[in-house]
A and B are shown apart, each in its own frame.
Chain A
Amino acid sequence: MLTLLGVLVVVLGFALRFNPLLVVIAAAMTSGLAAGLSPIEVLTVFGKAFRTNRYVSVAWLVLPAVGVLERAGLKEQARTTILRLKAASAGRILVAYLALRQLSAALGLTQAAGHAQTVRPLLAPMAEAAAEARAVGALSDNSRERVRAMSAATDNVGLFFGEDIFLAIGSILLIVGFLDQSGLTVEPLALSVWAIPSALAAFVVHGARLLLFDRGLVKDEVGE
């Protein structure tokens, strides 16, 4: 039971907004010590996993490409393109992106889009430009933040409720392997088929929120 103190450290540390890297180390120490490991042993287990999980950070290699494109005016071009579309609104752009992200993730293309390569240089500037064009007067900082945050949120929702439709995604393989160990045989196809109802529901729920989001933004500006 005492090992759960590590989880408590995480919850409190994040809630009180300590530096998350320190919170992580403190939580590892707490749970490790509670489980009877020495501090050196905890650091050893932690270090081993830190090394084997380096591939998680390799995705940052996309930043130089994004940076060079920003330097050459990509964000500005994304804005201009959107401003030419009279029917564009932040919500509608995000709904279109949600559909694209869900479909591409369902085909296994989880890495094709993401926060560094699509949301920051393309999606967020586009949504922001559309919101600005529709707002009465200047877009408030608060609304700007909300549009950006909703852009990132839409990428996440699209990814999570799309990827499980792909047969060879990690989570499907994990389920198949786990059930196999428990003596149950389930075909990957059966699992991916049963991810579809939730995926459709997610599109309806988040899509509806995005269209309402537009109204909220407009009202926000009129009210100011």
Chain B
Amino acid sequence: MIGLTFVYPLAGLVFGAFAVLSAFDRENPKRLGNAVFWGLFAVCFLVGDRLGDLGNGVLALALALIAGTGQLGVGKPRTTTSEERERLARVHGAKLFLPALVIPVMVLVGALTLKRLSVHGAPLVDPKQATLVALVLASLAATLLAKILFRQPASAPLQEGRRLMDLVGWAALLPQMLAALGAVFAVAGVGKTIGDLVAHVTPVDSRLAAVTAYCLGMAVFTMMMGNAFAAFPVLTAGVALPLVIGRFHGDPAVVCAIGMLSGFCGTLLTPLAANFNLVPAALLQLKDRYAVIRAQAPTAAVMLIVNVVLMNTLAFRR
């Protein structure tokens, strides 16, 4: 069955290749740091299941220390100059968009069909991982297509991948690290404490106040946890179920749907939602780490108010 057992070793090999190529990059004075960093990350994917939980924890700590003490540089693999690219763009023209379109099309087709494929009655692809497998297959296909169509050297996929990976740098690991932090917070009971606090300060006699407290609480709690999924059960149990739905008879579907979207307003405002807010700042080489958050903050703030109004008008129609 194709699933994580296929995806993880492949990811391990790619990160491992980035490590090896980094080690030989004479243009990068911090090449050793990069090599060890991506090498350890590769280890996590290749043999992480055999390292034990503490082993993986030590690995994560080591990765954080390497990045945190400034051992990461930006590799400079040989690539085309901007003049060469202008010329190549004129030569290849609109054909360049083709491999870029292969990715979304294959993800769509893969997500719809991979689950249904089977060999001798057993599923060919793990249905739970169908989208992830589709994304990986689409990436491989697009790489291959681009390499052949535009006659790129055999070293290009890994060297170009490393060039972009180094631009992202430590931010690449942040989403996975934050997910692990969420697990520690859950064990420590952080969510429950915050939920109790919000429930404690929420006024119980005004409908609008309860709705506002729920929406605002979802946004603020999401900002602190980096994830609306962590905020939702806590605040819905603490504020929405007893007050908005219980006492004021709000329609649960409206309350929960809009409550979740209020949480998403918080996601737009927090650096803890790293893959949405910090990673693009690195990918786009922005000088300000928080530039993306600044750009979307006004939208998030207005939408939070809109969500309060919508919930207050739509949830109590009877």
Interface set of A (CB-CB < 8 Å, partner B): 1, 3-4, 6-7, 10-11, 14, 17-22, 24-25, 27-28, 31-32, 34-35, 37, 40, 42-51, 53-77, 80-81, 104, 108-109, 111-113, 115-122, 124, 145-146, 148-153, 155-157, 159-161, 164, 170-171, 174-175, 178-179, 182, 184, 186-187, 190-195, 197-198, 201-202, 205-206, 209
Set B60, B182, B279: member contacting A47, Cβ < 8 A: B60
Chain B CB within 10 A, most for which of A70, A75, A111: A111
Chain A CB within 10 A, most for which of B132, B257, B292, B296: B257
- Residue B122 at the A interface, CB < 8 A? no
Closest chain B CB from A186 CB (angstroms)? 5
Residues on B with beta carbons closer than 8 Å to the beta carbon of A49: 179-180, 182-184
Set B41, B61, B87, B291: member contacting A149, Cβ < 8 A: B291
Residue of B nearest to A104 (CB): B104
Interface bits B306-318 vs A (CB < 8 Å: 1, else 0): 1100100010000
Closest chain B CB from A86 CB (angstroms)? 18
- B64 and A51 form a contact (CB under 8 A): no
- B146 and A28 form a contact (CB under 8 A): no
Residues on A with beta carbons closer than 8 Å to the beta carbon of B147: 68
- B135 and A20 form a contact (CB under 8 A): no
Residues on B with beta carbons closer than 8 Å to the beta carbon of A146: 291, 295
Closest chain B CB from A204 CB (angstroms)? 9
- Residue B1 at the A interface, CB < 8 A? no
Interface size on B, residues (CB 8 A): 144
Residue pairs across A and B with Cβ atoms less than 8 A apart, 18 shown, are A11-B224, A20-B271, A49-B180, A63-B160, A64-B139, A71-B160, A73-B87, A76-B85, A76-B86, A108-B111, A109-B107, A120-B280, A171-B228, A171-B232, A186-B252, A194-B253, A202-B303, A205-B306
Residue of A nearest to B67 (CB): A21
Main SS class of interface, A: helix
Beyond A4-B190, A43-B61, A51-B53, list 18 extra A-B contacts (CB 8 Å): A18-B68, A20-B271, A22-B65, A24-B180, A28-B181, A44-B54, A45-B53, A49-B179, A64-B157, A65-B103, A73-B80, A73-B92, A112-B108, A145-B287, A156-B267, A161-B261, A175-B232, A195-B260
Pairs A-B, 9 closest by C-beta atoms: A67-B160, A47-B57, A43-B57, A49-B183, A47-B56, A73-B89, A64-B161, A112-B104, A22-B68
- Kindly state the separation between the CA atoms of A71 and B286 in the bound complex, as whole angstroms: 21
* A160 touching B146 in the complex, CB below 8 Å, given contacts A60-B165, A63-B161, A112-B107: no
* A115 touching B283 in the complex, CB below 8 Å, given contacts A47-B56, A51-B49, A191-B253: yes
* A156 touching B173 in the complex, CB below 8 Å, given contacts A7-B224, A112-B104: no
Closest chain A CB from B176 CB (angstroms)? 5
Residues on B with beta carbons closer than 8 Å to the beta carbon of A65: 99, 103, 139-140, 142-143, 146, 157
Set A64, A161, A175, A190: member contacting B143, Cβ < 8 A: A64
* A50 touching B97 in the complex, CB below 8 Å, given contacts A152-B281, A157-B296, A170-B229: no
Closest chain A CB from B117 CB (angstroms)? 19
